[in-house]
Structure 1
Amino acid sequence: MTVARGVAVLLVAALSGCGAGDAGFDLALPLDAYDLSAAERRVVDEVRFRLLADCTRTYGVELKPSPPSARGPEEHRNAAYLGWLGDRQVEIYGYAGPPSPPVIDYTTYPVSDEQIVVLEGKRGKFHGRAVPAGGCLRRTEAILDQGSVGLLGSKAARVREEQDFFLLANDASGQASADPRVRRAEQVWSDCMKDEGFDYPYAGAAVADPRWARTAKSGQPRKVTAAEIATATADVACRDTTGYYAARRAAYRDSQQRIIADNRARLDRIKTINRVQLENARRYLAGELVATW
């Protein structure tokens, strides 16, 4: 059995902004301010795993991480929202991007039945030692959440906060997708592609073309054809020159700002909890926070 612990984690010019101005494009969006960055999440996750390993070690069933793999190129958190292909080197790799392992912003680890007992606190005692209520998992979260008790109340509250952010981001995405600016941008992009000899009604259709949008065999890189490279290269050029990215960013910016205005208290709470966990993780790494089991 393998367990993954982590937080799920999650546009400004008008469509008339054409030309090569989308090069070096700013992918930031308003909701970013309420979440941790990928690098910050890795700090919290590293400490979360260290705490779990330390806790299970005291019961003789130390948790071990899965073998690490090389980290591949890291796409921006908002790349999917904005339809951003600028980092995929499509002229070489097509839509798949460079052939490297996916970036995973949480630690995975195999778990035995004995470790589950300790992790989840399924018994009051294990090997003669008292197990914390809720096991090592709940105790670890309590350590990371120190200073936010009044905000959290319980582990269930933390889970709800994580789900809240995900749902709010999804709501904003749904609003942006229906924005007339996005629909217009898709049409202008489609016209540009037709001029280059490619007929797709919207950008997602090119990426999902069944000629290349298929899953490769496990462990085997997907073969990239000349046709895919030609299509993807024209696609990126059309996104750059038609203001496609700018239109999507304007729509997502406005939809996220509406979501923030309507849910500011919930988002402020989520932001505070995230910052508390990051601060406690840094304190632990600096030796200023001592865990007791």
Structure 2
Amino acid sequence: MCTALLALTAISSCSSSPKNENNSEPEIPAIPRIIAAASLRLPLQDYLLTDRQLRDLDQARVVLIDRCMRRFGFGYSVQQPTANYGPRSATERRYGITDASDAAEHGYGLGNRDPALQKPPAKPRLGVDAQTVLFGKGRSSIKGLKVPDGGCVAQADQSLGTTAPAGTDPGLAQQLSFQSFDRSKADSRVLKVTRAWSDCMAHSGYEYTDPLAPLADPGLSGSTSARTIGTATTDIRCKKSTNLVGVWFAVESAYQKQLIDQNSEQLKGLKQANGARARAADALTAGG
């Protein structure tokens, strides 16, 4: 996957966050001055599978399904994407657009990284018996062999998940990531910088109260009109002048650290499980 240029350019020496009187909002030792967000890394990402690991797991899943299907005389293959689509990282558009060159050329689009350009992989053509083996629905045996409970799909998923410690919730880190985003969005420091960004946009004639709103604006989606490019480039300029990304990233990082402390044991187990799953996927895809 493409790696964006380093986004962190400096640490403000005079931007220490004051203590909160009610102590409900976490303290921030310093707020970074950030230009773009693609290369940023939030604390909870240590407990999430990377894009590459997810792709490897998808490939390993296909390998296991194919092995299972071949026992019944069927094959199974899925064409893998040949290019990377979508944002460069989990943080690139977490706080809205932040890449100046993308904004100037594509507005709020992604250019040749737009997922809409990706053709969905062709689905394998399977007969009735093969579908029964794949999903485990229908007859309990095919060609004299017992169909696994849930079919070859369930068997593959179980094989890739057997290394997880008991009670491990594979979705915990993602759930906490949603929580940290919601909490940070409602934080007084983020609300303050969001208002400053909105005022900056309004001075140029663009009325948005939320830096995520332009991404959802149907009038801008898929467009590279002068209005769209103008909105996007102003959006970037206002984010720079207010340091919206730096403030929001610092605030959300603080919330994530709190959540990690509160869920340390469960996250420790999840990290071990992710590592084991990734190693299992590596072994399967390497050996075919």
Note if 1:172 corresponds to 2:187.
Answer: no
* Contact 1:88 1:98 survives alignment (8 Å): no
Report if aligned partners of 1:35, 1:274 keep a CA contact under 8 Å in 2: yes
What is the deviation of 1:201? 2.5
Amino acid at match of 2:132: V
Residues 228-239 of structure 1 aligned to structure 2 (within 5 Å) = 228-239=228-239
Q: Is the 8 A contact 2:194 2:210 kept in 1?
A: yes
Structure 2 counterpart of 1:72, from 85, 93, 106: 85
* Superposition deviation, residue 111 in structure 1: 6.9
Q: Is the 8 A contact 1:31 1:260 kept in 2?
A: yes
SS at match of 1:181: helix
Counterparts of 2:84 and 2:195, CA distance in 1? 36
Q: Could you tell which deviates more after superposition, 65-74 or 166-175?
A: 65-74
* More contact order relative to length (CA 8 Å, sep ≥ 6): 1
| 1:127 and 2:148 correspond | no
Instruction: Map 1:80-229 onto structure 2 (within 5 A).
Output: 80-86=93-99, 89-102=102-115, 109-110=123-124, 112=126, 113-122=128-137, 123-148=139-164, 151-152=165-166, 161-213=169-221, 222-229=222-229
Gaps of 5+ in 1: 1-10, 214-221
- RMSD of aligned Cα (Å): 3.3
Specify the code of the residue in structure 2 equivalent to 1:282.
Answer: D
- CA contact under 8 A between 2:184 and 2:251: conserved in structure 1? yes
Distance 1:117 1:251, change over 3 A: same
User: 3-state SS of the aligned residue for 2:199?
Assistant: helix
Aligned-partner residue type, residue 37 of structure 1:
T
In the TM superposition, residue 190 of structure 1 has moved relative to its aligned partner by 1.7
Query: Within 2, Cα distance between the matches of 1:258 and 1:233?
Result: 35
Long gaps (5+) in structure 2:
1-7, 17-31
Shift of 1:101: 4.3
Shift of 1:189: 0.9
Aligned match for 1:41, one of 51, 54, 58: 54
**Aligned partner letter, 1:238:** C
Letter in 2 for 1:117: T
Q: Work out the percentage of aligned pairs sharing the same amino acid.
A: 26
CA contact (8 A) 1:48 1:140 kept: yes
CA contact 2:100–2:236 (8 Å) conserved in 1: no
TM-score by length of 2: 0.76
1:241-252 maps to which residues of 2 (within 5 A)?
241-252=241-252
Once residues 43 and 91 of structure 2 are traced to their aligned partners in structure 1, the CA distance between those partners, rounded to angstroms, is: 11
In the other structure, the counterpart of 1:7 is none
Name the amino acid aligned to 1:183. L
Equivalences for residues 14-25 of structure 1 within 5 A: 16=15, 21-23=33-35, 25=37
Cα distance change on mapping 1:114 and 1:184 into 2, 3 Å? farther
Corresponding letter in the other structure for 1:248: W
For 1:5, the equivalent position in structure 2 comes to none
User: Which residue of structure 1 lines up, in the alignment, with residue 20 of structure 2?
Assistant: none
| Deviation of the 1:91 alpha carbon | 0.7
Q: 1:13 to 1:187 in 2, by over 3 A?
A: farther
TM-score (norm 1): 0.75
Aligned AA for 2:197? Answer: W
Are the counterparts in 1 of residues 136 and 150 from structure 2 also a CA contact under 8 Å? yes
Give me the whole-angstrom Cα distance separating, in 1, the residues matched to 2:273 and 2:78.
Answer: 26
SS in 1 for 2:170: helix
Shift of 1:66: 4.9
Contact 2:109 2:223 in 1 (8 A): no
**Aligned to 1:90, what secondary structure does the other structure show?**
helix
| Whole-Å separation in 2 of the counterparts to 1:262 and 1:114 | 49
Over 3 Å counting, the alpha-carbon distance change for 1:133 and 1:38 in structure 2 is same
d(CA) in 2 for partners of 1:204, 1:101: 18
**Higher mean displacement: 58-67 or 88-97:** 58-67
> Offset of 1:37 from its aligned partner?
0.9
Classify 1:121/1:202 alpha carbon distance in 2 versus 1 (closer, same or farther; 3 Å).
Answer: closer
